[in-house]
Amino acid sequence: MHSSKDEIYSHPQAHIADFKFDQSVAEVFPDMIQRSVPGYNTIVDAIGQMAGKYVAENTNMYDLGCSLGAVSLAARRYIQSPGTRIIGVDNSEAMVERCRLHLQAFKSDVPCEVICDDLQNIDINNASMAVMNFTLQFLEPQDRQQIINRIWSGLNPGGVLVLSEKLSHPTEQGNELLIDLHHEFKRRNGYSELEISQKRTAIENVMRIDNFATHEQRLKSAGFQDVVLWFKCYNFASLVAIK
């Protein structure tokens, strides 16, 4: 599938509007996320491996905030259990349209449905696995506990939630260190200072990040028994919460 280079913030903009998952972002999304999120490919493939292990016979897997379907595609490569179903959800029409094309482009025995809606409206049931790969950070902070609670309720015993997020660090110097390392990662991937700083401004109001302790506490108070930090690079992390 055709995918272009992310040049959205390469020219100076007089007014930088809040970041949106619109058509222009959907077009360059694979390039954007790989050059911006350290370990993205590793994380997606490992989530696929976890799907192979945890997605049980005759249950559902949810890919919440699925964008172009990278996680759903990885899961389909690894799922062996019969009677499973993948439900992808995203509230960006541009993403969902392209996601459906991506999924159609690969043959699979695992049916996959993509719903265009706010993930908060989705009924979660009979789930052995749910994934929020860099999605929760875009939801209103006051809604986050309820979202995690609903996922917990929809999971079968032993089911897992994989939650990947950009994290803040509780000390200022630690936080700065991680931000610097991340910006260097972006520079090395070809983003200019202008692109880095304009993107930072655009995303400031849209992506409000928590620290690890906040995530852990939220998951525990929803009822998850175990919270496992399985990936971390700079200020990016992925957790598995086990019911």
- Using CB under 6 A, pick the residue from 38, 39, 48, 65 that binds ligand GEK: 65
Q: State yes or no: residue 118 binds ligand GEK (CB under 6 A).
A: yes
Sequence-distant (6+) residues with CB within 8 A of 218 are 144, 145, 148, 210
Rounded CA-CA distance 29/3 in Å is 8
Q: How far is the CB of 57 from ligand GEK (least distance, A)?
A: 25
212 binds ligand GEK (CB under 6 A): no
Using the minimum distance from each CB to ligand GEK, give the nearer residue, 220 or 232: 232
Of 21 and 191, the one with the shorter C-beta distance to ligand GEK is 21
Name which of residues 143 to 182 contact ligand GEK (CB under 6 A).
Answer: none
Residue 105, number of CB atoms within 10 A of its CB: 10
Q: How far is the CB of 224 from ligand GEK (least distance, A)?
A: 20
66 is a contact residue toward ligand GEK (CB under 6 A): yes
- For the chain, strand residue ranges (E) read 60-64, 85-90, 112-116, 127-133, 155-166, 226-233, 236-242
Query: Which residues in 148-216 belong to E strands, given as ranges?
Result: 155-166
Give the list of residues 6+ apart from residue 184 with CB closer than 8 angstroms, or none. Answer: none
Residue 62 sits in the site that holds ligand GEK (CB under 6 A): no
Rounded to whole angstroms, the Cα distance separating 67 from 98 reads 8
Residue closer to ligand GEK by CB (options 67, 198) is 67
Binding site for ligand GEK (CB under 6 A): 21, 33, 44, 65-67, 70-71, 89-92, 95, 118-119, 133-135, 138-139
